[in-house]
Structure 1
């Protein structure tokens, strides 16, 4: 890929196209996207099948069938994407940046005169595009699958009409889903840049998804000023933001952080991760290391 960078001051558009091409050519990108779609569809099919068995309470069955058809399948699918998609994007991000070190392409690209900050920006834009694709593509497929599912279950395809407010709610739900995914990309990216290790980028980013909820629980139990720290943890705010996904006026649990607070905290963490990656990357020598 470095051969495509022929001169100093390579246009940003060219770098972005190059990074997008790398992601498209990477088999992992498509495998994990397929996993995201396949697991959601398989889970929905299994839930519907299970709900048809004898002994399932009518209320539970109705909730399952509503989740498998429009419009409820949209927020439910986005919640699923926000969870599994964060794991998959952390892996993709660490692999994308880590392979630049292990394959030796990073030294060639930077050595050709491409500014380091421009290279990082192009890489982040490409990965951010992947985060959007990992939200939009599965959602479109799930919505499409909800139509034949409604026919099979003898339910209306759409319980309500599609109008401006309805479309606005869908766009807001997608934005609430994409933002935490972008934060996960920024986290894995920064860790990979700092450690120059694909394994560390994946491991630390994924470990944080388990450690942070426990830390939030401990801080809440301690109370006082320590409990307030939990309100500024990344995943706590990501989960709070997802609570607002739904149509019309959504009733969130009492004590849920506000959307404004959650968005600002998530943006703050993203800025911290990106700034850290940029500062470290600009000051260190470029070396070729193994993927581990």
Structure 2
């Protein structure tokens, strides 16, 4: 899957995929990213409660994050002895549209209809998509445990879907829950493709520079979308909205995006995706504590099945 490097990139040198220390650090990065990403639906649902909507929130988040990527990207570019080829940069930009524009747009749109618990579990299912797509189109090897693991995963998601129907607030119809679920599954599929396609670009550009390019392209796409759909008007903002958006942009977007790219470089896309086991648990705990979302045995069973199924994907 990975292509040979086109030139020396500082953060990809002297990295042995078989080194225990390297693998350990990659897992730490992946787990840390999973935790930070698990805060995203909590912050978004809180901001929705303050009156914000998906597209303005996504646009502001990307605008705030963009300077960080531009600065880091410029520093890395200046350090490169041989500059990347134009087609390598273009490929990374295209991959970024999958993982950071389309996946984010579908996710934020879906969160307007479903609970934070269901959203995180739906996204948590993306390793199953990584495994299946990797086997079908990338020649990845899979074991016989994949089919029962997939069955467990999607039975669990079905149970969680039913749980969301039970706890839906007044005015939320079954059609709304279904729409939100499909949007978030589309987000998971888009992010799965990003994980698989990103490995080659990370090998060519290095994880940090790849993240800068992919997030930069996603920001441009987001701003164009925002300008077309909303015009050039900034939504009404106050201190709580700005605070939440800043935290969302930096701690739940910029920091974990670099962690994920570096983790993929060190331990590969399959291990990086499966290591996000803590994500649904942390999101559920925070959804109960901070959002007051109901939680019962139905949710416990659904979450347990999804997590068991994903953990058995190899």
Taking structure 1 as the reference length, what is the TM-score of the superposition?
Answer: 0.36
Higher relative contact order (CA 8 A, sep 6+): 2
